[in-house]
Amino acid sequence: MSEWWRQAVVYQVYPRSFADANGDGVGDLRGIISHLDHLQSLSVDAVWMSPCFRSPQRDHGYDVSDYFDIDPMFGTLADLDELIVEARRRGIKIVLDIVPNHCSIDHAWFRSAVSAGRGSVERERFYFRDGSGPNGDEPPNNWLSLFGGPAWTRVTEPDGSDGQWYLHVFDAGQPDFNWEHPDVQQHFDDVLTFWLDRGVEGFRVDAVTVVGKTPGLPEGPTPPPGLPAAHASAMNKHFQRHDIARAYWARWRRTLDRYQAEHPGREPFTICEAYIPRKPQLILDYVAPDQFHQAFAFDLMLSPWVAASVKGFVDSYVNDVMNNGGALAWTLNNHDTHRSVTRYGRADAATAESWTGNNLVYTNTPVDVALGVRRSRAMAVFTAGLPGAFFLYQGEELGLPEVLDIPGDRRQDPIFHRTHGNEKGRDGCRVPLPWTQDRSGNHGFSAGNTEHISWLPQPKNWGEHSAESLDLDPDSITNMYRTLLKERRNVASAEAGEFSWLETEHADVLGYRRDRLAVFFNLSDEPRSLDMSGEVLVESESGACWDGDLAPNSAVWLRL
Ligand code: NOJ
């Protein structure tokens, strides 16, 4: 068994925003096929696609109405088959995104639950409850949605009367499944097998922490006023019961292990989105041998620009998780979080707290994009040498900043709408990618380059960040990623050795070693001398990082 996923480089495609081959303003599978050479040039092992299943897109695909089909907006099953073949031809595996906690209110099961009425067996696959208060017109309990507002919405009964309420930890369009129900458990076995049979090599599993619910759904704590929606909601542990969900995930693992045993040469894996900020040790629950294969190490992404903080998170993940057998994936960006260029370019990057899926905790301090790009490059060089997998998010290799000024009437994220605009949400990291330099049109995102129809508007200067312009510049961030990930294949995974920190003279310079690979990372704004020599393999700024001193906000790989 190769356990290829342990050291893999995985590129996240957000299909709506990657490339639009049919010119309707929304990305699609044929758009991904048309840019596979770009992904191959980055030496990625796999592509994880955010959900492209049938969905009314109320949460942009994370609200699935049919888990066994591709949404026509993205293409067809035949397009996916072709994508799998074309990717495989370039040495790239396809990883899908499965959403187990909830489906869409347009899912056939939910529709039939609503129409079958109170007390029906159809309603047992979800959490339908009578309301509280004299007329049942208050939610059944005080649980809050992670996207803002109550976690309950009322339905109209078939006879037209005000009816029961259903639970949704996210948007009202995303009813939570009742995982105790055997139909739900069987459904996901079937989903996994269906996509494995089509040649998919793994699954990113959405929002696993909210699947187990305390029986009886007791009241949660009352959060103090003024907290961001996600913080307030997450105080309630009654919908974060891993001890209850453990049995469900064990069943998934058995399904995957059985599949692997019955299909020699196949090694499907799961990576879970277990978002548990600042408690790395709790991740071990999710990456036990009977649970998921791998989990994201999110805290590094959320770290302020401070060496001690970065070091603390790496230490804790390595010691508490990896050294106890848990496989991790490092990541610096995703479709729920402000882009690293903007996080690290902020005047308060050293103190800002981050929270994925929510940007209220970011201040409005000015952003120095050039500094943010420089720091993102350095952070990527530091992170890509760590033991474990490395996930990057589309546009990271283009140095894209967060788009902060999307007009309210163009914003799409349900977080924006459910918080009445108090929280801007995640659209700013989902703006369609720029592929070409043109000053007009939508920078090659859509076939026909049709500016007016992109589902989110691009900034005017997006062409500067386009793949086309960065390809031409040997010192660009894109070419740095190419060198970095190629060297990672050559060195880091091949020679992957024990990880150990290296002493440096300066508290704001981090260094580590894996066999003959040494990585140094200067988080300060000053050059820092380093007592180390070796052959330079990768620099975050070409030819400009290392001359005995390590340049400010830079990182280097040396072969000792
Ligand atoms: C986590 C996903 O990453 C996010 O985009 C989505 O909104 C929620 N889960 C709900 O599915």
Instruction: Report CA(497)–ligand 1 centroid distance (Å).
Output: 35
- Please tell me the predicted confidence (pLDDT) of residue 81: 98
Is the domain of 91 the same as that of 130? no
Q: In terms of domains, do 96 and 115 share one?
A: no
The pLDDT score that the predictor gives to residue 545 is 84
What pLDDT shows up at residue 546?
Answer: 83
Residue 122: CB within 6 Å of ligand 1? no
Nearest CA to 235 out of 249, 245, 225, 244 is that of: 225
pLDDT at 523: 98
Q: Is residue 178 part of a domain?
A: no
- Beta bridge partner(s), residue 391: 10, 331
Write down the residue that tokens 């919908």 correspond to. Answer: 239
**Of 100, 113, 103, 116, the residue nearest 189 (C-alpha):** 100
What's the domain count of the chain? 3
Q: Is 560 within 8 Å of 517 (Cβ atoms)? A: yes
Q: Measured from the CB, is residue 206 less than 6 Å from ligand 1?
A: yes
Which residue CA neighbors atom 2 of ligand 1 most closely? 206
pLDDT score recorded for residue 357:
43
Cβ proximity of 359 and 424 under 8 Å: yes
Closest ligand 1 atom to residue 170 Cα is 10
pTM (two decimals): 0.97
Judge if 143 and 197 occupy the same domain: no
In a domain, 456, yes or no: yes
* Dist CA 147 CA 128 (whole Å): 20
C-beta atoms surrounding 525 within 10 Å: 9
Q: Which positions of the chain have pLDDT values less than 50?
A: 357-360, 494
Is residue 488 domain-resident?
A: no
CB atoms inside a 10 Å sphere around CB 543: 10
Residue 87, helix vs strand vs coil? helix
**Closest CA to ligand 1's atom 4:** 336
SS3 assignment, position 6: helix
CATH number assigned to the domain comprising residue 115: 3.90.400.10
The per-residue pLDDT for 506 is: 96
411 is a domain residue: yes
**3-class DSSP state for residue 384?**
helix
Per-residue confidence (pLDDT) for residue 158, from 0 to 100: 97
Mutate to test the pocket of ligand 1, among 17, 58, 59 (most ligand atoms within 8 A of CB): 59
Reported as a single tens digit per residue, the pLDDT across 218-256 is 999 999 998 888 889 999 999 999 999 999 999 999 999
Per-residue model confidence (pLDDT) at position 358 = 46
Of 471, 506, 523, the one marking the end of a domain is 471
In a domain, 482, yes or no: no
36 and 143 both lie in a single domain: no
Backbone Cα Rg of the chain: 23
Domain with 413 in it: 4-101+185-471
Are 334 and 390 contained in the same domain? Answer: yes
Look at residue 132 and tell me if it is in a domain. yes
pLDDT for 496: 61
What six digits make up the tokens of 198?
């089509």
Are 378 and 508 in a shared domain?
A: no
Please check whether residues 425 and 522 belong to one and the same domain.
Answer: no
DSSP SS3 for 63 = coil
346 close to 320: Cβ distance less than 8 angstroms? no
The answer to whether position 333 is within a domain reads: yes
End-to-end alpha-carbon separation of the chain, Å?
A: 30
Give Cβ neighbours of residue 491 (< 8 Å, ≥ 6 apart).
516, 517, 537, 557, 559
Domain shared by 90 and 119, yes or no: no
541 CB near ligand 1 (under 6 Å):
no
| Domain boundary, last residue among 426, 454, 471 | 471
End of a domain among 116, 132, 167?
A: 167
Asked if residue 191 and residue 124 are part of one domain, the reply reads no
Is 62 touching ligand 1 by the criterion CB < 6 Å? yes
Give the nearest ligand 1 atom to 275 CA: 1
CB atoms closer than 10 angstroms to residue 159: 8
pLDDT in tens, 322-340: 999 999 999 999 999 999 9
Of the residues 53, 97, 102, 336, which should be mutated to test ligand 1's pocket, given the most ligand atoms within 8 Å of the CB? Answer: 336
